[in-house]
Amino acid sequence: MRQSPRRKLLVGLGRGFGGALIFGLPMLMTMEMWWLGFYVDRFRLALLLILNVPLLILLSHHAGFEETTRWHDDLRDVAVAYAIGIVASVVVLAVFGVVTFAMPADEIVGKVALQSVPASIGALLGRSQLGGSKVEPSEGTEQVNYASELFLMAVGALFLSLNVAPTEEMVLISYKMTGWHALALIALSIFLMHAFVYALEFAGSDPSLPPETPWWSAFLRFTVTGYAIALLISLYALWTFGRTDDVALMPVLMSMVVLAFPAAIGAAAARLIL
């Protein structure tokens, strides 16, 4: 049975709010994220919000509220997703008592703005992951499809790294590890990335690689490159949250390796579910 335009809109918004809560709750209920909204450098916060816009635009081609063919349609999806992310963040933080009218406006804006990033990603993904049909990207050249795969890995890496980068546990783990632990964690991260998509042949694994493709080609093009993306995303997340300020090079590298572990898992999972 065909839905009326109004009902279709309400269902889409409902899925958007559901996606915002599912993807945003881990950070909405994290104390470090509340404090970061208060003291995080405003330039770095603004940069995160600005970079989130093109990320959402590209993501809209893969799993937006509806199939899009024009840029202004994607911009509309992004505006709706950001609005849903902001509203969901305000409602949840207000119910938790994390934001109140007694707080300075700068603190409220900082907390809500920071939380709106994962919430907006969740809102945009809500349609495809909460019962809607998955929107497939348009057909393109091999180079375009490869870049699309790398982009999806970056989205997954960013989301999971944002969840744990602000926590004290991440820093504690990096301090407790030795160089051998770091090498073992790098090897484990790369192994799991490759196993997730290829060795285990999960549903959603890359169909663009023909069966005769040698294992080392897929390993280098996707797994190793994906792990490099996870490392770069981890460094950016650490910098955004001030984890690299006045810190020596070696602790920063150790923190990158620790944070790249969930980022690598997120990168591999994103290629399976998006």
Interval 206-259: pLDDT, tens: 555 555 566 667 788 788 899 999 999 999 999 999 888 888 899 999 999 999
Name which of 59, 31, 253, 92 is nearest 159 in CA terms. Answer: 59
Residues of the chain with pLDDT under 70: 1-5, 62-71, 127-145, 197-216, 272-274
pLDDT of 140 = 52
pLDDT of 189 = 94
Q: By the 8 A CB rule, do 123 and 19 touch?
A: yes
204: left (phi over 0), alpha (psi -120 to 50) or beta: left
pLDDT of 203 = 45
**Distance (Å) of CA 181 to CA 164, 185, 187, 188:** 19, 6, 10, 10
233 CB neighbour count, 10 Å cutoff: 28
CA distance 39 to 107: 8
Q: By the 8 A CB rule, do 265 and 158 touch?
A: no
HSE-CB at 120 with a 13 A cutoff on CA atoms is: 28
Its pTM stands at 0.81
pLDDT of 84 = 92
Name which of 174, 172, 150, 170 is nearest 229 in CA terms. Answer: 150
CA distance 77 to 44: 25
pLDDT of 138 = 47
Contacts 24+ apart (CB under 8 A), 206-209: 206/149, 206/271, 208/142, 208/145, 208/149
CA distance 173 to 240: 19
pLDDT of 222 = 81
Q: By the 8 A CB rule, do 243 and 171 touch?
A: yes
Burial (Cβ within 10 Å: 0-12, 13-18, ≥19) of residue 3: exposed
pLDDT of 71 = 67
Going by C-beta distance under 8 Å and a sequence separation of 6 or more, which residues neighbour residue 180?
A: none
pLDDT of 183 = 95
CA 121 to chain centre: 7
pLDDT of 263 = 93
pLDDT of 258 = 95
